[in-house]
Amino acid sequence: MDLETAIARLPAGARRVFVLYAVEGYRHEEIARVMGVAEGTVRAQMHRARKLLMEVLDR
Amino acid sequence: MTDHVAWDALNDYADGVLDETTRSAIEVHLAACRECRGRLEEMEVLVREVSRLPREFAPPVEAWASIREEVERRKVVSMPGAAGRRPAHRNWSQRPWLLAAAALVLMVSSSAVTALYIRRGELPPAVASNPPSLAMPVALLDVERGYVTSVKELAAALDAARPNLAPGTIQIVERNLAVIDAAIAESREALLRDPGNRVLQDVLAGSYRQKLDLLRRAAQLAAS
């Protein structure tokens, strides 16, 4: 599976946070503001996104 | 070595969001643990690969277009980002009056649409009761700027598909939107009195999310 497909298959919340961080270059606190969530939520979504991506990309 | 750095902590280390004490402790461990260094490298490689994807890469998520639009709009002033990553740019937080003006324009321009399911001929209560002004707290603007455009887009989508909805469904949507908008208006008023209250900010953001969800569901129903 390629990277874009793997990202597209992430749960919506994890996908938004991960793309804002990795593609757009936003920091956690900025993502939290844009999405209207707590920074802890952003962290948790990043953890989840990385774990799922690594699993599906078999890394 | 058996006590490896926890997955979550290694993630946070990679993202540079740990306090200095924790970061230093992890660095001591990393210096002695090849396995954790390997996991960290994998995390960093993943982000580097994603950062090289085309900027127009946009996974199909609800309201993603709105988030991108919001992000792009703020990319005016270059600010230093993390090493090796694209810099983040924004100037809205430094010029709240600009955001206030844009918010007013967006919400007023969407009123013709939202009036279909709120009260014909009136602005949404959240706007009518508290139009954005230069004195609006930045905290309030911070909460709202992530939602105003999304609401407008979804409202437009619903308006376009409205002929497909049964009158009874439209009434239900109107009633629910009125309830949510009343909650938004109440939270906004409270935030104007107490701008630093994080609970109120969360409540307001939650109400906007409810509104987005309702609009999205109604638009999907009309389109199906």
ipTM, two decimals:
0.89
A2 touches chain B (CB under 8 A): no
Local confidence pLDDT in tens for the 59 residues of chain A: 788 889 888 898 898 888 888 877 788 888 887 778 899 999 999 999 999 999 999 87
Contact B71 A26 (CB under 8 A): yes
- A18, A50, A55, A56: which to substitute to probe chain B, counting the most B Cβ within 10 Å? A50
By three-state DSSP, how is residue B89 classified?
strand
* B55 CB-near residues (< 8 Å, 6+ apart): A23
Convert the pLDDT of each residue in B139-151 to its tens digit.
677 777 767 777 7
Helix (H) or strand (E) holding B119, with range, is none
Contact B15 A28 (CB under 8 A): yes
Mean residue pLDDT of chain B comes to: 66
Say which of A24, A33, A59 has its CB closest to residue B42.
A59
Q: Minimal CA–CA distance to B47: which of A48, A13, A19, A22?
A: A22
Helix (H) or strand (E) holding B2, with range, is none
* CA B175/CA B54 separation, integer angstroms: 42
Q: Give the nearest chain B residue to A53 (CA atoms).
A: B46
Q: How far is A52 from chain B (nearest CA, A)?
A: 12
Contact A26 B88 (CB under 8 A): yes
Confidence of residue B162 (pLDDT cuts 50, 70, 90): confident
Tell me which of B28 and B216 has the higher pLDDT: B28
User: Residue B57: its pLDDT value, please?
Assistant: 52
- B8, B56, B77: which to substitute to probe chain A, counting the most A Cβ within 10 Å? B8
Say which of B42, B51, B146 has its CB closest to residue A36.
B146
- B19, B40, B49, B50: which to substitute to probe chain A, counting the most A Cβ within 10 Å? B50
B88 touches chain A (CB under 8 A): yes
Instruction: Give the highest mean pLDDT range of B36-40, B89-93, B210-214.
Output: B36-40
Q: How far is B223 from chain A (nearest CA, A)?
A: 21
Describe chain A by its helix, strand, coil percentages, rounded to 5: 75, 0, 25
Q: Please say if the pLDDT value at position B66 is more than 60.
A: no
Confidence of residue B56 (pLDDT cuts 50, 70, 90): low
* A36 CB-near residues (< 8 Å, 6+ apart): B143, B146, B147, B201, B202, B205, B208, B209
Q: How far is B63 from chain A (nearest CA, A)?
A: 10
